[in-house]
A and B are shown apart, each in its own frame.
Chain A
Amino acid sequence: MRQRTLRPAPAPASVAQRRQQLLPNGVLGMLIFVITEAMLFAGMISGFLIVKANAPEWPPLGQPRLPAGETAFNTAALLASGASLFFANRAYKVWPNRARLPLLAALALGAVFVVFQGIEWVALIREGLTLTSSTHGAFFYLIVGTHALHAVAALVALGWSAWLLSQRRLRPGTLQAVSLFWYFVVGVWPILYFQVYLA
Chain B
Amino acid sequence: MAETIATPGAHDDHGHEHHDEGWVKKYLFSTDHKIIAMQYMFTGMAMAVIGGFFAYAFRMQLAFPGMEVPLWGVVTSAEYNSLVTNHGTIMIFWVAMPVLIAAFGNYLIPLMCGVDDMVFPRLNRLSYQIFFVSAVVLIWSFFVEGGGFGGAWTAYPPLSAKAEYSLTPSGASLWLIAVALEFVAFLMGGINFVTTAMNSRAKGMGIYDIPMVVWMIVIASILFMASVGPLIAGAVMLFFDQQLGTAFFDPAQGGDPILWQHLFWFFGHPEVYVVLLPAMGIVADVICVMGRKKLFAYRTVLFTAIGTGVLSFTVWAHHQFIAGIDPRMAHVFTITTLLISIPIAEMCFCYIATLYGGSLTLNTPMLWALSFIATFLIGGVTGIFLGASGADIYFHDTYFVLAHFHYTFFPIAIIGTFAGFTFWFPKMFGRMMNETLGKIHFWGTIIPFNLIFLPLFVLGAAGQHRRIYNYDNFPELALPWMQDLRILATLSLIVMLGFQLVFFYNCYVSLRRGKKAPANPWNANTLEWLAPSPPPHGNFGDKLPEVYRGPYEYNHPDRSEDFWPQHVPN
Contact = CB atoms under 8 A, between A and B. Distances in A.
A87 B109 CA distance: 38
B73 interface: no
B4 A8 contact: yes
B51 interface: no
Contact of B240 (A13, A46, A51, A131): A131
Contact of B232 (A35, A40, A54): A40
A9 B4 CA distance: 7
Interface in A35-69: 35-44, 46-47, 50-51, 54-55, 60
Given A16-B200, A40-B233, A142-B236, A32 B225 contact: yes
B115 interface: yes
A50 B256 contact: yes
Contacts of B202: 15
B446 interface: no
Nearest to B246: A138
A131 B3 CA distance: 49
B50 interface: no
A159 interface: no
Nearest to A56: B254
Contacts of B227: 39
A19 interface: yes
A138 B203 contact: no
A131 B228 contact: no
Interface in A107-157: 131-132, 134-135, 138-139, 142, 146
Given A29-B119, A36-B228, A134-B254, 12 more contacts: A16-B11, A16-B115, A17-B7, A18-B203, A19-B203, A28-B194, A36-B225, A39-B228, A43-B230, A50-B262, A51-B256, A174-B8
Contacts of B544: 14-15
A30 to B, nearest CB: 8
B201 interface: yes
Nearest to A28: B195
A44 B233 contact: yes
Contacts of B459: none
Given A32-B195, A174-B8, A25 B187 contact: no
A167 interface: no
Contacts of B236: 142, 146
B109 to A, nearest CB: 12
A142 B254 CA distance: 16
A7 to B, nearest CB: 8
Given A39-B227, A40-B229, A47-B248, A26 B194 contact: no
29 contacts: A13-B16, A15-B201, A19-B200, A21-B2, A21-B3, A24-B2, A25-B7, A29-B119, A32-B225, A35-B226, A37-B229, A38-B229, A39-B230, A41-B229, A43-B229, A43-B263, A43-B266, A47-B234, A51-B255, A54-B256, A131-B240, A134-B253, A135-B248, A135-B253, A135-B254, A135-B255, A142-B248, A171-B5, A172-B2
Given A16-B115, A25-B7, A39-B228, A132 B233 contact: no
B45 to A, nearest CB: 28
Contacts of B1: 93, 172
A4 interface: yes
Nearest to B110: A16
B170 to A, nearest CB: 20
A32 B191 contact: yes
B547 to A, nearest CB: 10
Contacts of A32: 190-191, 194-195, 222, 225
A4 B200 CA distance: 21
Interface residues of B, number: 61
B245 interface: yes
A138 B9 contact: no
A138 B266 contact: no
Interface string B248-267: 10000111100100110010
A2 B6 CA distance: 13
Pick the 9 closest A-B CB pairs, nearest first.
A39-B229, A43-B230, A16-B200, A9-B6, A43-B233, A40-B229, A138-B246, A135-B254, A16-B9
Contacts of B266: 43
Contacts of B453: none
A43 B183 CA distance: 16
Nearest to B203: A15
Nearest to A138: B246
A6 interface: yes
B295 interface: no
Contacts of B191: 29, 32-33
A15 B115 contact: yes
B148 interface: no
A51 B256 CA distance: 7
Contact of A24 (B8, B263, B542): B8
Interface in B1-37: 1-12, 16
Contacts of A7: 6
A82 B461 CA distance: 59
Contacts of B190: 32
A173 interface: yes
Nearest to B235: A43
A23 interface: yes
A84 B198 CA distance: 31
